Structure 1
Amino acid sequence: MSATTIHFVRHGEVHNPDHVLYERLPGFHLSERGRRMADATGRYLTANPQTNTAAAVWASPLDRTRETADIILSHLNAARIDRGEPTLELNTDERLIEAGNEFRGKRIGHGEGALWKPQNLKLVSNLYKPSWGESYRHIAERVGAFASEKIDEYRGRQIIVVTHESPIWTFRHLLETGRPEHNMLLRHAALASVTSITFDCDSHQVMSITYVDPAANVA
């Protein structure tokens, strides 16, 4: 039985001193701590016998995911050079982008983002079926389409995919429960964590899901 594993990595911490919801906005980069988190995860992936031979690295096109992926790639490519193998380049795909959100650019709980305001309160009345932006169903469908394509493209191999909390957890929740809707407060996808999903190449059925947090102790 041939299997493809997709390692979904969440980006590292973002420099955001004003605490705004940056969503898909440009110009939000990794903080120094975020770069250390990406470095820790890059070192973990390079030390792992499976992931250090990954066939490709993909990322959301946003700044923070590409920066995280570049740091991971620097570790993987150093190992590939040592083995006399060609280096990998970063690929991006719009289907991995952060979820759309009507609060983007606002500070949640303050000013225009204050939840007590009538126009905002009605948006967050149901955490399981958010009405403040892109639906969980659509998020899961676009990530699922990406995954299905890559299962075939990288048949029997491993790839690393750097994306965001919402796409990772929404897709995982769909695979584990049959539905993408969930309570956003109960997500389990820490910054720079790795959610690894192994699929049967023929049926595209899930064989296993594992989770590690290599950057948990990064200060």
Structure 2
Amino acid sequence: MTATTINFVRHGKVENPNHLLYERLPGFHLSDVGQRMAQATGRFIADSPQLNTSVAVFSSPLERTQETAQAILNPLNKVRESRGQEPLTIETDTRIIEARNEFRGTRIGYGDGALWRNGNWKLVRNLWKPSWGETYKEIAARVRDFAMEKVDQFAGQQIIVVSHESPIWSFRHMLEKGHPEHNMLLRKTALASVTSITFDSDTHEVLGIAYFDPAKDVH
């Protein structure tokens, strides 16, 4: 039996002084703290005898994930160079992008432009089945499509996938509980965290799920 591990990494903290729900909006980059978070996770991956054997790095197309992926790629490629291996590049895939949310551009909190104005709060009555955009089932389905493709493509190997909180947790919840619907307030997907999911390369059965939070002390 061979095993394939997909290491899902959530991006680091974003520069967002106006507290907007940025969703898929362009122009939202990692903050200084977010850069340090991504670098901490990059060091963690480069120092791990298992993770630093990863043979590919994928990212969603948004700036915050691309920047996190680059911070991971830099030390990882130094390890590869020391082994005489070719450097990796970032491969972009839209299936691991942030969830679609109709509240994009609104502000968290109160005042003009706030999420809770204009009756928007009525759409947030059920945290398990969002009614304000892409459903958890849709999110998990596209991530599963991506993951199963990569399990076949990289059988017996490890890869890094930089994505977002909702796609990572919805997919994990589906694998563990049999359904992707969940209370979004109970997610365990810290900024710049690593969720490693190992699959049987032949059957796609989940063999194990591990979670790491390398940037928890970064401020």
What's the TM-score once normalised by structure 2's chain length? 0.98
Look up the SS of the partner of 1:203 in the other structure: coil
- 1:197 matched residue in structure 2: 197
Asked if the contact 1:103/1:113 (under 8 Å) is kept, the reply is: no
- 1:167 matched residue in structure 2: 167
1:116 deviation in Å?
5.5
Asked if the contact 2:103/2:115 (under 8 Å) is kept, the reply is: no
Return closer, same or farther for 1:66/1:114 CA change in 2, 3 Å cut-off: closer
- 1:68 matched residue in structure 2: 68
Aligned mates of 1:140, 1:180 — CA distance in 2: 6
Look up the SS of the partner of 1:112 in the other structure: coil
Return closer, same or farther for 1:59/1:114 CA change in 2, 3 Å cut-off: closer
Cα deviation, 1:144-165, whole Å, max 9, x if unaligned, reads 0000000000000000000000
Is 1:143 paired with 2:159? no
Runs of 4+ more than 6 Å apart: none
1:122 deviation in Å?
1.8
- 1:156 matched residue in structure 2: 156
- 1:208 matched residue in structure 2: 208
Aligned mates of 1:122, 1:21 — CA distance in 2: 17
Look up the SS of the partner of 1:49 in the other structure: coil
Aligned mates of 2:189, 2:129 — CA distance in 1: 19
Q: What amino acid does structure 1 have at the position aligned with 2:145?
A: A
Q: What amino acid does structure 1 have at the position aligned with 2:74?
A: S
- 1:49 matched residue in structure 2: 49
Asked if the contact 2:139/2:170 (under 8 Å) is kept, the reply is: yes
Aligned mates of 1:152, 1:114 — CA distance in 2: 42
Extract unaligned runs of 5+ from structure 1: none
Q: What amino acid does structure 2 have at the position aligned with 1:113?
A: A
Aligned mates of 1:184, 1:50 — CA distance in 2: 30
- 1:100 matched residue in structure 2: 100
Cα deviation, 1:73-108, whole Å, max 9, x if unaligned, reads 001001111111100010010000000001111102
Aligned mates of 1:28, 1:114 — CA distance in 2: 19
Aligned mates of 2:2, 2:105 — CA distance in 1: 44
Pairs within 5 Å for 1:12-27: 12-27=12-27
Look up the SS of the partner of 1:147 in the other structure: helix
- 1:87 matched residue in structure 2: 87
Extract unaligned runs of 5+ from structure 2: none
Q: What amino acid does structure 2 have at the position aligned with 1:124?
A: V
Asked if the contact 2:5/2:158 (under 8 Å) is kept, the reply is: yes
Look up the SS of the partner of 2:113 in the other structure: helix
What value does the CA root-mean-square deviation take over the aligned residues? 0.9
Cα deviation, 1:112-143, whole Å, max 9, x if unaligned, reads 3342542x022101111000110000000000
Count of residue pairs the alignment pairs up: 218
